[in-house]
Chain A
Amino acid sequence: MTAVLEVSDLAVTFGAREGLIKAVDGVSFSVARGEVLGLVGESGSGKSVTSLAVMGLIDPPGRIARGSIKFEGQELVGLPEEDFRRLRGRRMAMIFQDPMSTLNPVLRIDTQMIETILAHEKVSEKAARARSRDALAKVGIPSPEERLVAYPHQFSGGMRQRVAIAIALLHGPSLIMADEPTTALDVTIQAQILAEVQKLAEETGTALVWVTHDLSVVASLADRVAVMYAGRIVEEGPVADVLTQPLHPYTDGLIGSVPSRNRRGVPLAQIPGMTPSLARLPAGCAFRPRCPRSTDICATAPEATDYGGGRKARCFHPLIDLETAA
């Protein structure tokens, strides 16, 4: 499998002088063609910033401090803005969290779709319109011809997210960054959209990075999962392995805090404490103050260790021992 996206040692910082905040610090991952990577973490773990960095949408005072982002073999860090613009929307697309606010309220749907096509291709407006209509039909919007001339406020939240997905798919991108696109939707709509996106990604071989805080979404959608905590990926691996046999205590805590049929009647576990402020991260492993297994050694930052089978974790005290795993 060739990697569509290869991020290595990415660091994104915000703020200029002493108050430098490392929102993302040394993140590496890759996504292959047709693969779905779930990027999981709590609020402030750096997952959204990571996806914005890939799209080249980090605004000052934020900036990419180091690392590399390779997309289809092309280095994106330091890419001139005009070259980046030609990639965005065409080869790589993004879907955002809140469908109520991602479409421009004063422009009709057809305007917002056609402009996306015309930004990258020299086609007639008529052809662009026909393609927009087909794209709406593909994401399951009924009577697309009429809906083209509607305004965003005339759609429900789920329908708007479908429109946003249709826009993202217009150029058949090889990578879609999805930043919690179903979080703001009803559970039933969420399930529909997930199934839809999964089908579309499979058909077209699009690589998908699905940013979410919802482990159940990851379980049903992703091939692999990367768990982020305080700007670092603490664990990564095939989704089934990570969810059934987590290595990192944080992943274990996350899984334990999801309600499950199998643990009926048992009080829901929680991770004590709260996500640390990025401005005052503890030295060493950032999870140390909340970790039940931490020892003195955790005061030094753990390196990512390869556990075989595509699994990696940053922990001195993983939940399985190395001998049995090997």
Chain B
Amino acid sequence: MLVYLIRRLSQAALVVAVMGTIVFLSMYAIGNPIDLLAAQDASDAEKAELARQLGLDRPIWEQFLIFAGNAMRGDLGKSFVYNEPTLRLILQRLPATLELALTALVFSVALGIPLGVYAGLKPDSWMSRTIMSGSILGFSLPNFWIGLMLILFFAVELKWLPASGRGETVDLLGVPVSFLTWDGLRHLFLPALTLSLYKAALVVRLARAGTREVVMQDYVRFARAKGLSYRRIVLVHVVKNMMIPVVTVLGLEFGSMIAFAVVTETVFAYPGMGKLLIDSINRLDRPVIVAYLMFTVLLFVIINLIVDLIYAAIDPRVRLVEAKG
């Protein structure tokens, strides 16, 4: 177990290092930030002075070495725009995005598992067909469009829910969270629903396929022969086996949910990391973009590790020993 962890962590460090190099170098492909940062009527001398202050006048390899050296110490630089450490900027926005992604995850599981299991148990009923057709919509409708439609319907027409922002927050262990206030929950509902629909569709299909496979198994027939109630057979024997692939995929998807939050956060003007990223890209705020991407990589690596650990907890046949590869 310990050996496994050490091996995984060193693999993770390698991934982060490679990613850092690629991200830093690719920043040079998207344009010169000086053009945007300097005042429109700035002279060439003023521009050169600004470049010197930001260190953008040095050769690219030197800039990279400075970046790599600082990154080793956990310093990902200062934002050109805010003149604040980028990591602090990101961490300020992180709770909002995590809250959004977690709520969306809960929505997609709460929505996807029951519907998927139902469709798997009764594959030929019209309800199941409706669920499966609905899941195709969930897959194919673009995120921003769903968001806009929800705003139009719930916020503009019905005026039930607010259209943008995060609402009232309270501090929980020093972290501002909005799910503990009624106003915060009202603000959270629409963006979380928007973000969750695609995942819910995925969960429905996974749960359905898993259920259909599991109900064919001998142990389900044996469970029936033992005289167990239908309820227990489905809730314990079928669902627990069916959850194995669902957890694997959901864990990986959680990372992408944080990444996809970019679009949803923009539509709902939700003050999360995604919105920060979009704003930074618009202003060519290189350090923030680099730091955001590095942070995302780290997040994915950590989530993958957690998924493996959860996986071992559900499926007793998986033992985390020194795995090859």
Tell me which residues across on chain A come within 8 A of B224, comparing CB atoms: 57, 88
Tell me which residues across on chain B come within 8 A of A88, comparing CB atoms: 224-227
Tell me which residues across on chain B come within 8 A of A57, comparing CB atoms: 221, 224-225
Report the bound CA distance from A301 to B134 in whole Å: 54
Contact string against B for A residues 292-303, beta-carbon threshold 8 Å, 1 for contact and 0 otherwise: 000000000000
Partner of A153, one of B221, B236, B241, B317: B317
Report the bound CA distance from A96 to B240 in whole Å: 22
Tell me which residues across on chain A come within 8 A of B222, comparing CB atoms: 94, 96, 102-103, 164
Given contacts A57-B221, A96-B222, A115-B236, contact A105 B317 (CB under 8 A): yes
Interface residues of B in 285-325 (CB under 8 A from A): 314-317
* CB contacts between A and B, total, < 8 Å: 75
Instruction: Kindly state whether residue B129 has any CB partner on chain A within 8 Å.
Output: no
Instruction: Kindly state whether residue B228 has any CB partner on chain A within 8 Å.
Output: yes
Report the bound CA distance from A94 to B218 in whole Å: 12
A106 touches B225 (CB 8 A): no
Interface residues of A in 131-173 (CB under 8 A from B): 151, 153, 164, 167
Instruction: Kindly state whether residue A66 has any CB partner on chain B within 8 Å.
Output: no
Tell me which residues across on chain B come within 8 A of A106, comparing CB atoms: 240-241, 244, 314-316
Given contacts A101-B217, A151-B317, contact A107 B240 (CB under 8 A): yes
Given contacts A57-B224, A116-B226, A119-B227, contact A151 B316 (CB under 8 A): yes
Instruction: Kindly state whether residue A252 has any CB partner on chain B within 8 Å.
Output: no
A85 touches B227 (CB 8 A): yes
Instruction: Kindly state whether residue B237 has any CB partner on chain A within 8 Å.
Output: yes
Instruction: Kindly state whether residue B159 has any CB partner on chain A within 8 Å.
Output: no
Instruction: Kindly state whether residue B3 has any CB partner on chain A within 8 Å.
Output: no
Instruction: Kindly state whether residue A224 has any CB partner on chain B within 8 Å.
Output: no
Tell me which residues across on chain B come within 8 A of A90, comparing CB atoms: 227
Instruction: Kindly state whether residue A34 has any CB partner on chain B within 8 Å.
Output: no
Tell me which residues across on chain B come within 8 A of A153, comparing CB atoms: 316-317
Instruction: Kindly state whether residue A241 has any CB partner on chain B within 8 Å.
Output: no
Interface residues of A in 82-117 (CB under 8 A from B): 85-90, 93-94, 96, 98, 101-108, 115-116
Report the bound CA distance from A96 to B317 in whole Å: 22
Contact string against A for B residues 131-172, beta-carbon threshold 8 Å, 1 for contact and 0 otherwise: 000000000000000000000000000000000000000000
Tell me which residues across on chain A come within 8 A of B227, comparing CB atoms: 85-90, 116, 119-120
Distance in angstroms from B36 CB to nearest chain A CB is 56
Distance in angstroms from A173 CB to nearest chain B CB is 10
Distance in angstroms from A27 CB to nearest chain B CB is 20
- Interface size, B (range): 20 to 34
Given contacts A85-B229, A119-B226, contact A102 B316 (CB under 8 A): no
Residue of A nearest to B222 (CB): A102
Instruction: Kindly state whether residue A209 has any CB partner on chain B within 8 Å.
Output: no
A55 touches B240 (CB 8 A): no
Distance in angstroms from B234 CB to nearest chain A CB is 13
Tell me which residues across on chain A come within 8 A of B54, comparing CB atoms: none
Residue of A nearest to B316 (CB): A151
Distance in angstroms from A224 CB to nearest chain B CB is 24
Report the bound CA distance from A250 to B2 in whole Å: 63
Instruction: Kindly state whether residue B182 has any CB partner on chain A within 8 Å.
Output: no
Residue of B nearest to A104 (CB): B219
Report the bound CA distance from A244 to B296 in whole Å: 77
Distance in angstroms from B222 CB to nearest chain A CB is 4
Residue from B217, B227, B315 whose CB has the most chain A CB atoms within 10 Å: B227
Tell me which residues across on chain B come within 8 A of A167, comparing CB atoms: 226
Residue of B nearest to A105 (CB): B317
Report the bound CA distance from A210 to B115 in whole Å: 41
Contact string against A for B residues 261-299, beta-carbon threshold 8 Å, 1 for contact and 0 otherwise: 000000000000000000000000000000000000000
Instruction: Kindly state whether residue B223 has any CB partner on chain A within 8 Å.
Output: yes
Tell me which residues across on chain A come within 8 A of B7, comparing CB atoms: none
Given contacts A94-B225, A167-B226, contact A115 B232 (CB under 8 A): yes
Residue of B nearest to A82 (CB): B229
Interface residues of B (CB under 8 A from A): 217-219, 221-229, 232, 236-237, 240-241, 244, 314-317
Interface residues of A (CB under 8 A from B): 55, 57, 85-90, 93-94, 96, 98, 101-108, 115-116, 119-120, 151, 153, 164, 167
Other than the given A85-B229, A93-B225, A119-B228, 17 more pairs (CB < 8 A) read: A55-B225, A85-B228, A88-B225, A88-B226, A93-B226, A101-B219, A103-B219, A104-B219, A104-B223, A105-B219, A105-B316, A106-B315, A115-B228, A119-B229, A119-B232, A153-B317, A167-B226
Closest CB pairs A-B (n = 5): A89-B227, A88-B227, A89-B226, A101-B218, A94-B225
Q: What are 26 sample pairs from A and B whose C-beta atoms fall under 8 A apart? A: A85-B228, A85-B229, A87-B227, A88-B226, A88-B227, A89-B227, A90-B227, A93-B225, A94-B222, A96-B222, A101-B218, A102-B218, A102-B221, A103-B219, A103-B222, A105-B219, A105-B241, A105-B315, A105-B317, A106-B240, A106-B316, A107-B236, A116-B228, A119-B226, A151-B316, A164-B222
